[in-house]
Amino acid sequence: MNALLAIARTEARLGFRNSWVLLSTVILTLFAVLLVLLGSGASGQVDAPLLSVSIASLSTLSVYLIPLIALLLSFDAIAGEIDRGTLQLVLATPIPRWQLLAGKFLGHLAVLSIAIIVSSGIAAALAIALDDQGGAQPLGDLAALTATSILLGAVFIAIGYVASASVRQTGTAAALAVGIWLAAVVLYDLALLGGLLASGEGVFARSVFPWLLLVNPADAFRLFNMSATDASLAQAGLGSVSGSPLAQGAWVLASPVAWTLAAILFAVVLLRRVRP
């Protein structure tokens, strides 16, 4: 267990030294602050606290940005170490390979969590400060968004390891990671939208579409945060999905949790086959 924690500590340390923490915090904060400011301009028309409006737009932003940052953090984890010749030395020590991967996961997740927590904290503080309506602030929704953002990051960190452990060159792993991001976050939704438009009010829209949304961890994240915030539902006009029992409650999050576990397990299997 000491070995696992030593790997985690080292990865987190490298995250700070290589400016990963700084860079991802700055990017996330920049976009979040921008969204809050945009929301504050329109908040006169919406009868909701500015924070609620901001949470809705933040969750949409997070779906794109967080998987990207997570993949960028993790695609290098195995292939990069093979490339640089550092993996041989680590695998010669008694640490079991699953602990190596679990340690890296903890370290990378810590790096990403810091970025997410800091950026959503700053954005929330700004939204509360700019809110002129007063009243109760949806702090619970904020906590839920932050926690699920970290979970969304965990999914794509783990998927990045699968990419990294299945090839030997960092370049190939990077290309694979970008492909995964495009497919999961952009193309998947486009395809679903196309299907929805084509089938109209048919079987697809009623019984297949919600499940397909759920299968994609990024969409599951979106579903959860939208059903949590009514304002966001109204804004996004996705009321039909939230009306179905699928979108109710936290069990939507079973999808990203399952994806994380499955991806880590698969990456361990792949790592065991690596011959350094």
Partner 1 sequence: MEGQHAMNASVDIRSVSKSFGAVHALDQVSLSVAPGETLALLGHNGAGKTTLFRILLGFIAPDGGEAQIGGLEAGSRQARRMISYLPENVAFPKTLTGREVVELYAALKGVAKSEAGQALEKVGLGEAASRCCGTYSKGMRQRLGLAQAIVGSPGILLLDEPTSGLDPLSRQDFYQLIADLAGRGTAVLLSSHGLSELEARASRVAILRKGKLVADGPLGNLQRDARLPTRIRVKTAPADVETLHREFGGRRINGASVEVTCDPDEKMAILAAIHQRPGAIADIELIPPSLDEVYRHYSACEPGKEVRS
Q: Which residues lie near partner 1 (CB under 8 A)?
A: 2-3, 5-7, 10, 13-14, 17-18, 84-86, 88-96, 275-276
d(CA 271, CA 7): 16
Q: Exposed/middle/buried for 149, CB within 10 Å: 0-12, 13-18, 19+?
A: buried
Cβ atoms of residues 107 and 9 within 8 Å: yes
**Nearest by Cα to 153 from 62, 232, 240, 230:** 62
* Nearest to partner 1 of 121, 276 (CB atom): 276
* Nearest to partner 1 of 18, 207 (CB atom): 18
d(CA 4, CA 121): 30
Q: How far is the CB of 24 from partner 1 (least distance, A)?
A: 17
Tokens of 226: 């939208």
Q: How far is the CB of 10 from partner 1 (least distance, A)?
A: 5
Q: How far is the CB of 105 from partner 1 (least distance, A)?
A: 17
Q: How far is the CB of 6 from partner 1 (least distance, A)?
A: 3
* Nearest to partner 1 of 2, 45 (CB atom): 2
DSSP class of residue 250 equals G
Cβ atoms of residues 7 and 33 within 8 Å: no
* Nearest to partner 1 of 6, 68 (CB atom): 6
Q: How far is the CB of 224 from partner 1 (least distance, A)?
A: 36
* Nearest to partner 1 of 50, 73 (CB atom): 73
Tokens of 13: 């340390």
Tokens of 227: 């059903």
